[in-house]
Amino acid sequence: NIKIIRSDRGGEYTSSEFLEYCKDLGINRQNTMPRTPQQNGVAERCNRTLLNM
């Protein structure tokens, strides 16, 4: 089960529908800091790991 989603502050991750979905499933959301592309790279690698599962 997914426990944490780390993302940039893209609109698809901040919509009320997505926030409610995460809340319902008990998924903890983490946002990367603005203007820090290094953190976005970490998020992209984590997402790639999920896709490869």
More confident residue, 8 or 50: 8
Average pLDDT over every residue of 1-14: 85
> pLDDT tier at 24 (50, 70, 90 boundaries)?
very high
- Which amino acid appears at position 19 of this protein? L
Q: What is the distance between the alpha carbons of residues 52 and 30, in angstroms, rounded to a whole number?
A: 21
Average pLDDT over every residue of 7-33: 89
For the whole prediction, is pTM greater than 0.75?
no
Q: What is the distance between the alpha carbons of residues 43 and 30, in angstroms, rounded to a whole number?
A: 10
Q: Are 29 and 22 in contact (CB under 8 A)?
A: yes
Instruction: List, as one string, the DSSP characters of 13-24.
Output: HHSHHHHHHHHH
| Distinct helix (H) and strand (E) counts, the chain | 3, 2
Average pLDDT over every residue of 11-37: 88
Task: Give the model's pLDDT for residue 53.
Answer: 67
